[in-house]
């Protein structure tokens, strides 16, 4: 990357970086130690490898746009070439092994050791290169390339292997990308169905796709592509084959899952929720059925249908290209009373008893309550506040009569049960019981993980997790003891085309179809899907890498499109 920092040597030949003094002194100490690897020239890298918050904790609009561009492989290519053209591309010097960084003065090498250097680098890149780049024809070429690249995935790029499920106006199929051979789950949604569901708030049509687009966490479902046909809005995600935690509970011989196994799941779900909360998102529908189990034994949080909040890194597609929307303040209160019965927090249920304008609203604390219900159910085999649970309160009311009561009465009964607290089966440890009691605290301010001062750290420090190495877990360097037994992944293509696959869905679901799966919305309604198309930067990098490694005579056409090689071929002048 370009930088305002420069490299020079003193009279003794020691390297000096013209950056803040604490960095200079540290590098001087290292440079004069003969046992360290020599300084070597490093190629310019136009990308940011860690979160950046600016020198005063704020990031200007131009810097935000620059950072977004640097995280995109198409953007890296264009601005890197421009920097070389105008000679702002610089050479840096670094040690071959950063692990050799040894500083005798512990006050120098702090956690924010390189922050001042990062601020200088980004500021210089923005002023010296990016602002100039935005006024040139190269910038217009970049926007065209960006638009073309991210709109080139189509239904023809996949092979269709297996029908996975359907319901309402959605269908899920196991698909394989032709150019890479990678397997995915493809969720096909009927555009007219989405328009009907969100008729009162059409801006929410892309909300699930947008949320998956900004979530990058090992325990949140990873979306690789989203694209569309005239009738269908399609999301392509990683293929998770181990079922969900509800399936795991049903398969248990004991009727519940053992504590050590659930401890790992609780930690991973907690990390997934915290990631969403840091993005200003509330999940709102946590339950065993929405937590998938990967073949590696780790969990994946899926189904963002009820998630809500501000989207801090959303790309807005406009006629003149893409722009970066500045980070919005964290959403602190919601008032919509949504969720799954039995898993909703008391503050959501109590909201059902009053008019919307009288509701105090709720925070991300509702997710920790749902986590408590989910973990209790996994470790005990039943829900703590089920309407069919035993206990003195319900001895006078027969189970079959409970649901004859009005919804309002049912909500009041459920709130009363919650206020009475939780009873535990004897096989739960003391730490597990305390962990669940803290999560199932009726007061959301007192709920574990929701303290305004301690935050998620309080959750991580609970004794229930005393054996968990959080750093290793975040990197998935902990090997789960339980892994689902799965058959080998089949590469056998079952359907000849997308249309062939859809016709089999029609036959299978003929008694349940309530929509015309081949009706295109009118052009006026199609505009609500203008921002639908997307390719994950990580996926695109992988495809670009594969394209370079393939023999030039055997590069699939779609990879040629992604790399722009097809246009070179078309425009080549015959010799």
285 is catalytic: yes
Task: Answer yes or no: is pLDDT of 188 > 80.
Answer: yes
Q: Give helix 115-124 / helix 61-70 axis angle, nearest 10°.
A: 100
Q: Which of 159-173, 275-289, 362-376, 557-571 has the lowest mean pLDDT?
A: 557-571
Total domains in the chain come to 3
Q: What percent of the chain has pLDDT over 90?
A: 39
- Return the pLDDT at 501: 92
Mean pLDDT score, 230-243: 96
pLDDT band of residue 359 (cuts 50, 70, 90) is confident
State the residue range of the domain holding 76: 22-150
- Write the CB contacts of 567 (distance below 8 Å, at least 6 apart in sequence): none
Mean pLDDT, the chain, rounded, equals 77
- The residue behind tokens 């309402």 is 168
CB 223 within 8 A of CB 304: no
Same structural domain, 176 and 224:
yes
Task: Answer yes or no: is pLDDT of 42 > 60.
Answer: no
Tell me the backbone φ, ψ of residue 334, rounded to 5 degrees.
-125, 155
425, part of any domain = yes
**How many Cα atoms occupy the beta-carbon half-sphere of 207 within 13 Å?**
20
HEC string for 61-113: HHHHHHHHHHCCHHHHHHHHHHHHHCCCCCCEEEECCHHHCCCCCCCCCCCCC
In 494-564, which ranges are continuous DSSP H helix? Answer: 498-508, 523-526, 537-549, 557-563
- Return the pLDDT at 53: 54
561, part of any domain = no
Is 392 or 376 the better-scoring residue by pLDDT? 376
CB 218 within 8 A of CB 232: no
CB 532 within 8 A of CB 525: no
pLDDT band of residue 198 (cuts 50, 70, 90) is confident
Task: Answer yes or no: is pLDDT of 316 > 60.
Answer: no
Same structural domain, 304 and 323:
yes
- Return the pLDDT at 221: 96
CA distance linking residue 554 with residue 547, whole number of Å: 10
Mean pLDDT score, 424-435: 97
CB 413 within 8 A of CB 349: no
Same structural domain, 235 and 247:
no
- Give the tens place of pLDDT for each residue, 325-347: 433 334 467 778 788 989 999 99
Same structural domain, 285 and 335:
yes
295, part of any domain = yes
- Return the pLDDT at 409: 87
Mean pLDDT score, 287-316: 81
Global confidence as pTM:
0.70
- Return the pLDDT at 459: 96
Task: Answer yes or no: is pLDDT of 312 > 50.
Answer: no
Is 170 or 63 the better-scoring residue by pLDDT? 170
In 357-464, which ranges are continuous DSSP H helix? Answer: 365-380, 399-402, 407-420, 430-439, 456-460
Same structural domain, 378 and 511:
no
- Return the pLDDT at 1: 41
Mean pLDDT score, 14-24: 39
Mean pLDDT score, 392-411: 66
**How many Cα atoms occupy the beta-carbon half-sphere of 184 within 13 Å?**
26
Q: Which of 92-101, 105-114, 539-548, 560-569 has the lowest mean pLDDT?
A: 92-101
267, part of any domain = yes
Catalytic residue among 72, 124, 210, 285: 285
- Return the pLDDT at 318: 33
Q: Which two tokens stand for residue 224?
A: 């690789």
Q: Which long-range contacts (CB under 8 A, 24 or more apart) does 358-362 make?
A: 359/335, 360/333, 361/333, 361/334, 361/335, 362/333, 362/334, 362/335, 362/444
Same structural domain, 229 and 248:
no
Same structural domain, 346 and 298:
yes
- Give the tens place of pLDDT for each residue, 507-531: 888 777 777 888 899 999 999 998 8
Q: Which CATH number fits the domain that encloses residue 521? A: 3.30.200.20
Q: Considering 150, 174, 209, which residue would you say is the last residue of a domain? A: 150
Strand (E) or helix (H) holding 535:
strand 534-535
- The residue behind tokens 């990683």 is 238
164, part of any domain = yes
Mean pLDDT score, 316-324: 34
Mean pLDDT score, 469-475: 93
Is 68 or 34 the better-scoring residue by pLDDT? 68
CA distance linking residue 40 with residue 484, whole number of Å: 47
CA distance linking residue 252 with residue 293, whole number of Å: 15
Same structural domain, 80 and 117:
yes
Mean pLDDT score, 560-564: 52
Q: Considering 150, 168, 195, which residue would you say is the last residue of a domain? A: 150
213, part of any domain = yes
Kindly report the number of other CB atoms within 10 A of residue 460's CB atom. Answer: 17
Task: Answer yes or no: is pLDDT of 558 > 60.
Answer: no
Same structural domain, 288 and 250:
yes
Q: Which CATH number fits the domain that encloses residue 412? A: 1.10.510.10
In 174-258, which ranges are continuous DSSP H helix? Answer: 191-197, 207-214, 245-251
500, part of any domain = yes
- Return the pLDDT at 440: 97
Q: Which of 63-72, 238-247, 330-339, 472-481 has the lowest mean pLDDT?
A: 330-339
DSSP 26: H
Q: What percent of the chain has pLDDT over 70?
A: 71
> Measured between alpha carbons, how far is residue 58 from residues 280, 330, 387 in Å?
17, 15, 49
Same structural domain, 39 and 84:
yes
pLDDT band of residue 57 (cuts 50, 70, 90) is low
- Give the tens place of pLDDT for each residue, 202-220: 878 888 998 998 898 999 9
- Per DSSP, the three-state class of 214 is helix
Same structural domain, 469 and 402:
yes
Same structural domain, 424 and 509:
no
372, part of any domain = yes
Q: Considering 475, 497, 524, which residue would you say is the last residue of a domain? A: 475
Q: Which of 275, 277, 316 is nearest to 473 (CA)?
A: 275
pLDDT band of residue 397 (cuts 50, 70, 90) is low
- Return the pLDDT at 168: 73
CA distance linking residue 116 with residue 54, whole number of Å: 9
Task: Answer yes or no: is pLDDT of 572 > 80.
Answer: no
- Return the pLDDT at 55: 53
């Amino acid at each position: 990357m370009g930088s305002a920092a420069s490299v020079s040597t003193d009279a003794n030949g020691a390297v000096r970086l013209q950056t803040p003094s604490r960095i200079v002194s540290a590098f001087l100490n290292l440079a004069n130690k003969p046992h360290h690897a020599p300084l070597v020239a490093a190629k310019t890298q136009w990308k940011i490898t860690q979160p950046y918050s600016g020198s005063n904790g704020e990031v200007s609009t131009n810097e935000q746009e620059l950072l977004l561009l640097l995280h995109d492989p198409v953007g890296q290519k264009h601005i890197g070439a421009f920097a070389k053209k105008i000679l702002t591309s610089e050479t840096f010097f670094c040690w071959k092994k950063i692990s050799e960084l040894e500083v005798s003065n512990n006050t120098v090498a702090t956690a924010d050791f390189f922050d001042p250097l990062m601020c200088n680098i980004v500021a210089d890149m923005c002023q010296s290169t990016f602002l100039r780049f935005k006024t040139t024809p190269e910038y217009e070429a970049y926007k065209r390339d960006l638009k073309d690249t991210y709109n080139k995935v189509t239904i023809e790029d996949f092979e269709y292997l297996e029908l996975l499920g359907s319901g309402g106006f959605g269908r899920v199929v196991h698909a394989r990308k032709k150019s890479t051979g990678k397997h995915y789950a493809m969720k096909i949604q009927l555009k007219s169905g989405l328009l009907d569901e969100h008729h009162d708030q059409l801006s929410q049509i892309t909300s699930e796709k947008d949320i998956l687009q900004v979530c990058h966490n090992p325990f949140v479902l990873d979306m690789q592509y989203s694209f569309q046909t005239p009738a269908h809005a399609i999301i392509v995600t990683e293929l998770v084959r181990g079922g969900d935690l509800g399936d795991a509970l049903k398969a248990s011989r004991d009727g519940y899952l053992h504590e050590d196994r659930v401890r790992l799941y609780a930690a991973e779900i907690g990390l997934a929720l915290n990631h969403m909360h840091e993005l200003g998102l509330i999940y709102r529908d946590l339950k065993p059925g929405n937590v998938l189990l990967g073949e590696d034994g780790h969990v994946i949080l899926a189904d963002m249908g009820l998630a809500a909040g501000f989207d801090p890194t959303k790309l807005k597609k406009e006629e003149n290209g893409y722009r970066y929307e500045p980070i919005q303040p964290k959403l602190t209160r919601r008032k919509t009373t949504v969720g799954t019965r039995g898993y909703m927090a008391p503050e959501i249920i109590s909201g059902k008893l009053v008019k919307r304008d009288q509701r105090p609203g709720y925070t991300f604390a509702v997710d920790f309550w749902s986590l408590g219900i989910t973990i209790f159910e996994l470790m005990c085999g039943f829900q703590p506040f089920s309407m069919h649970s035993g206990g003195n309160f319900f001895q006078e009311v027969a189970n079959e009569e409970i649901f004859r009561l009005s919804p309002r009465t049912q909500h009041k009964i459920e709130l009363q049960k919650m206020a009475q607290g939780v009873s535990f089966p004897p096989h739960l440890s003391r730490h597990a019981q305390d962990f669940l009691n803290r999560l199932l605290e009726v007061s959301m301010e007192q709920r574990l993980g929701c303290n305004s001062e301690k935050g998620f750290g309080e959750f991580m420090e609970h004794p229930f997790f005393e054996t968990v190495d959080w750093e290793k877990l975040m990197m998935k360097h902990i090997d789960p003891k339980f892994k689902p037994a799965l058959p080998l992944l089949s590469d056998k293509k079952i359907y000849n085309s997308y249309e062939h696959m859809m016709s089999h869905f029609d036959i299978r679901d003929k008694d349940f179809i309530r929509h015309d799966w081949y009706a295109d919305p009118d052009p006026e309604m199609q505009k609500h899907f203008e921002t639908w198309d997307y390719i994950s930067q990580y996926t695109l990098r992988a495809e670009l890498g594969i394209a370079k490694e393939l023999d030039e005579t055997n590069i699939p056409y779609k990879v040629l499109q992604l790399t722009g090689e097809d246009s070179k071929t078309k425009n080549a002048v015959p010799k």
